[in-house]
Amino acid sequence: MIKISFPDGKVREYHQGVTALEIAQSISHRLAEEVLAAGVNDVTVDLGFPINEDAAIRLYKWDDAEGRHAFWHSSSHLMAEAIEALYPGVKFGIGPAIENGFYYDVDLGENRKLSDADLPKIEQKMQELARTKETFTRREVSKAEALAFFAAKDEVYKLELIDELADGTITFYRQGQFTDLCRGPHLPDSSQVKAIKLLGIAGAYWRGDEKRKQLTRIYGISFPKQKLLDEHLKMLEEAKLRDHRKLGRELELFMFSQSVGAGLPMWLPKGAQLRERLENFLKKVQKEYGYEQVLSPHIGQKELWVTSGHYEKYGKDSFQPINTPQEGEEFLLKPMNCPHHCEMYKFKPRSYRDLPVRFAEFGTVYRYEQSGELHGLTRVRGFTQDDAHIFCRPDQLKDEFIKVIEIIFRIFNALDFKDFITQVSLRDPSNADKYIGSDENWEKAEAAIIEAAAEKGLKTITEVGEAAFYGPKLDFMVRDAIGRKWQLGTIQVDYNLPERFDLEYAGADNQKHRPVMIHRAPFGSMERFVAVLLEHTAGKFPLWLSPDQAVVLPISEKYNNYAKKVVSYLNNSDIRALIDDRNEKIGKKIRDNELKRIPYLLVVGEKEEEAQTVSVRKQGEGDKGAMPMKEFAGLIQEEVNRQMDLL
């Protein structure tokens, strides 16, 4: 017998060779129906995997990422089988599960092309195959056998992949008529795949290399219930309406120009002002927490990046060096601000009493991304981080974490992000030489993060082995108004850069000590943050941030002068107001300005002019009645202060 331990601490005995599915069956029939994959000692495996020794087990269902992953991976094999049945001779690239669904890259050959119109046919074939309850069978094969199998089908892409694998590590999965090279895991059979939708087609270079062949990537998603698919499709429709690229254009916030270059956003006046408001808000909060603003150039000498280690890690993927007329002089666009801030720390000797030193900068950085990877403001080649580096003593780590968490709370609160979780990424203690820094420091830093998160009441998931080699970190993920998750701010401990830049401070003992460094960016980047904000709010920004806060609508030309007087009164009271004096009916003016997502509409006519009032309509809430200008201004100021947490 072997001992199987469960996440709740319970231990049960089973016969040697028991499978995860049998374990699930031994617990309940229902669980056996819902379980999709299993974790055995933290390795995700098929439900049919025989367990031969004592082990810790997790049973993954639809709610677990690992469960969905196996489900979607199996679905991608199903799609490949359908495609092969419909288009004999097709060659396959890779077909992974992704965050939402799966894709497969295929090469149909010279004279065949897929379009969206072909997708329903493939979908139908998949449904058909799924219903026949095909089992996914795993088989270990030798490298020679694997090569022979795919050579017979002239599957050049698979052959290239196998070439890079070591003999003895290769597995095939087969379902129905289809066999694929895959590590798994998969579902036991296809019958759990109840609802399928193929979502679209894109071009994708083989291995992401622009010099190689462009394959056809087919995206799809599948679910164990039709209801879940219906909900997902509804969410996608809603997401389309909230697409930040579309809203950015409509609200005139930012643009891209092919002449300037792909992935290089430009902020239009309304967008630039919005960004400035965000920056000012953050600067103000950070000032309260003892940060000091600094400024550094957009480039740095190549040697700086060699010292920091970034050159070795990112050098070949980054932009090409900038050479000057001076022989041998070489600069790089900065991919991050940290090395500059390290140099600034070294400007003068620091003592333990000076720490923490907190340098903040809205630093613009440049990173090369393949053109196919670029996406609106979320994947760009140039962006501005709301960056800061804290240099502190090891004993100050916990306090500093608490302070950064408080800053992030202030931001989320002001921007109405109510639903978020955090992830603590720790090192894998069984793999200690992968990490830089002493055990003692790691233990202290990890404890500091965990305690700070607990003290602040954060909902936290802990991932062992997910820490960077240079320190543990805490990530914030927000859920937006339609349930999508976005990764935003990160707080990262770093033992590496202080070492590489030889940073020190004089301790109370008069000895030299190394400070610890914290990198933190609550927004992540201004670009990404504004994108998330646009998609979260559907362009209806909170009042304090909204490009225009109020628009005055005269009922007819006769009241244009009074309307102008209202606008200038509001502008003088620091309220962003404008006039719509087009010669249009008032109903149309109201509709048009609601579409522009201006929070307050102020209608003025004879009554209002006489009483020196405005008739207030609030976006989404309707008529609020008439009130004197001064009262309206007070109302706005109060709402803004409340949102910015200044009251």
Chain residues that interact with Zn ion, rule: CB under 5 A: 73, 182, 338, 519
Instruction: Show the CA angle centred on residue 404, arms to residues 335 and 391, nearest 5°.
Output: 60
Q: Rounded to the nearest whole angstrom, what is the least distance from the CB of residue 363 to Zn ion in the complex?
A: 9
Task: Evaluate the CA torsion angle 588, 592, 595, 597 in order and state its sign.
Answer: negative
Q: Is 113 a catalytic residue?
A: no
The reply to whether omega before 185 is within 30° of 0 (cis) is: yes
Distance (Å, whole) CA 391 – CA 346 = 11
Q: Is 139 a catalytic residue?
A: no
Distance (Å, whole) CA 367 – CA 383 = 9
Of 490 and 619, nearer to Zn ion (C-beta) is 490
**What one-character DSSP code corresponds to residue 1?**
-
Strands 577-579 and 550-554: parallel
Q: Rounded to the nearest whole angstrom, what is the least distance from the CB of residue 592 to Zn ion in the complex?
A: 45
Marked catalytic residue, from 175, 192, 286, 385: 385
Of 186 and 576, nearer to Zn ion (C-beta) is 186
Marked catalytic residue, from 398, 473, 576, 617: 473
Q: Rounded to the nearest whole angstrom, what is the least distance from the CB of residue 50 to Zn ion in the complex?
A: 20
Marked catalytic residue, from 367, 410, 589, 617: 367
Q: Is 243 a catalytic residue?
A: no
Strand partners, 175: 178
- Cβ atoms 4, 52 nearer than 8 A: no
Distance (Å, whole) CA 296 – CA 411 = 25
Of 296 and 549, nearer to Zn ion (C-beta) is 296
Marked catalytic residue, from 46, 189, 387, 580: 387
Q: Rounded to the nearest whole angstrom, what is the least distance from the CB of residue 512 to Zn ion in the complex?
A: 23
Marked catalytic residue, from 519, 520, 589, 597: 519
- Cβ atoms 81, 178 nearer than 8 A: yes
Strand partners, 101: 98
Q: Rounded to the nearest whole angstrom, what is the least distance from the CB of residue 418 to Zn ion in the complex?
A: 28
Q: Rounded to the nearest whole angstrom, what is the least distance from the CB of residue 309 to Zn ion in the complex?
A: 12
Q: Is 370 a catalytic residue?
A: no
**What one-character DSSP code corresponds to residue 431?**
G
Of 244 and 528, nearer to Zn ion (C-beta) is 528
- Cβ atoms 275, 296 nearer than 8 A: no
Of 310 and 597, nearer to Zn ion (C-beta) is 310
Distance (Å, whole) CA 51 – CA 463 = 24
Q: Rounded to the nearest whole angstrom, what is the least distance from the CB of residue 139 to Zn ion in the complex?
A: 13
By CB atoms closer than 10 A (0-12, 13-18, 19+), residue 200 is: exposed
Distance (Å, whole) CA 246 – CA 186 = 38
Q: Is 112 a catalytic residue?
A: no
- Cβ atoms 452, 398 nearer than 8 A: yes
The percent helix, strand, coil of the chain (3-state, each to 5) is 40, 30, 35
Residue 12's φ and ψ, nearest 5 degrees, are -130, 155
Task: Evaluate the CA torsion angle 164, 170, 176, 177 in order and state its sign.
Answer: positive
Of 338 and 601, nearer to Zn ion (C-beta) is 338
Instruction: Show the CA angle centred on residue 19, arms to residues 462 and 104, nearest 5°.
Output: 65
Marked catalytic residue, from 340, 389, 513, 597: 389
Distance (Å, whole) CA 572 – CA 77 = 64
Q: Is 387 a catalytic residue?
A: yes
Marked catalytic residue, from 182, 338, 342, 392: 338
Of 179 and 546, nearer to Zn ion (C-beta) is 179
Of 182 and 215, nearer to Zn ion (C-beta) is 182
Neighbouring C-alpha atoms within 13 Å toward the C-beta of 445: 30
Q: Rounded to the nearest whole angstrom, what is the least distance from the CB of residue 409 to Zn ion in the complex?
A: 22
Residue 294's φ and ψ, nearest 5 degrees, are -130, 170
The Cα diameter of the chain in Å comes to 92
Q: Is 385 a catalytic residue?
A: yes
Of 307 and 613, nearer to Zn ion (C-beta) is 307
Q: Rounded to the nearest whole angstrom, what is the least distance from the CB of residue 20 to Zn ion in the complex?
A: 17
- Cβ atoms 631, 615 nearer than 8 A: no
Amino acid identity, position 522 = P
Residues classed as catalytic: 338, 367, 385, 387, 389, 473, 519
